[in-house]
């Protein structure tokens, strides 16, 4: 089976009703991003940060995968598929994707603020006083601005092996995720699905690159016949 990697971002979840990372005014649900998505913000006002992610968690729980998520999951019948996602929801998993790598963490998990490898599944509100086994306050299992992205190395390894890369719902402007494209073979097949695509300097390096100026669902429906045909070659 050929290797197919999907690099997904907020745009794919937007069609399930989840808002993209920031509004046009730079705010996220009325908050400055630096207040709710940085370690410093958590130290200043942990209750604000916990409440913020509690609301995001509820939104994810009440959302549903869309057709784009489903098509990606169904492609596992034809390819070895890996999803590398910048999203913190579980919509890819709920659609049936078995191999999902979350670059920026997961909303339905929390972790110790003392030891980052102590991680628990979590579907209810997280409150001050909820502690790990070492007595440290639990925090959202989210990679905040200023923190390392530990899964980026595994993601780059997957991209290197890809015969096909589908970039969907991401502007390719947020690093280090945007830098993953440099690891893709020049011989690989690249689909970039975005209604308002941004120029990426690496795009010119690929011999077989296709720009699909559509939202996620329409874009996946457009390229699906080609993907099914290519899987037979």
Length of the chain: 233
**Spatial distance between the Cα atoms of 228 and 232, rounded to a whole number of angstroms:** 7
**Spatial distance between the Cα atoms of 124 and 58, rounded to a whole number of angstroms:** 8
Question: Does the annotation count 183 as an active-site position?
Answer: no
Place of tokens 């207040």: 35
198 contacts 172 by C-beta, under 8 angstroms: yes
Continuous H helices in the chain: 10-14, 33-36, 39-44, 46-61, 67-74, 91-95, 152-160, 216-230
Angle at Cα 161 formed by Cα 82 and Cα 166, nearest 5°?
50
**Spatial distance between the Cα atoms of 233 and 79, rounded to a whole number of angstroms:** 12
**Spatial distance between the Cα atoms of 168 and 41, rounded to a whole number of angstroms:** 30
15 torsion bin: left (phi>0), alpha (psi -120 to 50), beta (else): alpha
Of 92, 104, 141, 199, which residue is the catalytic one?
104
Q: What are phi and psi of 185, to 5 degrees?
A: -60, 140
- Catalytic residue IDs: 104
């Amino acid at each position: 089976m050929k290797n197919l990697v999907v690099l997904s971002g907020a745009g794919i979840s937007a069609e399930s009703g989840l808002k993209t990372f920031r509004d046009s005014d730079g705010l996220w649900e009325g908050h400055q991003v630096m207040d709710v998505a940085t370690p410093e913000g958590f130290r200043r006002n942990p209750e604000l940060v916990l409440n913020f992610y509690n609301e995001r968690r509820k939104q994810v729980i009440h959302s549903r995968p869309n057709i784009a998520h489903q098509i990606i999951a169904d492609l596992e019948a034809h390819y070895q598929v890996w999803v590398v996602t910048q999203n913190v929801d579980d919509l890819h998993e709920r659609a049936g994707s078995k191999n999902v790598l979350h670059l920026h963490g997961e909303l339905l998990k929390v972790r110790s603020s003392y030891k980052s490898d102590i991680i628990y599944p979590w579907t209810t509100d997280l409150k001050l006083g909820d502690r790990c086994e070492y007595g440290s306050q639990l925090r959202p299992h989210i990679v905040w601005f200023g923190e390392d992205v530990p899964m980026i190395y595994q993601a780059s390894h997957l991209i290197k092996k890809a015969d096909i890369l589908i970039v969907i719902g991401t502007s390719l402007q947020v690093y280090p995720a945007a830098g993953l494209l440099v690891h893709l073979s020049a011989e690989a097949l690249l689909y970039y699905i975005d209604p308002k695509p941004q120029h990426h300097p690496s795009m010119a390096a690929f011999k077989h690159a296709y720009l699909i100026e559509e939202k996620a669902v329409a874009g996946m429906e457009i390229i699906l016949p080609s993907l099914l045909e290519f899987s037979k070659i």
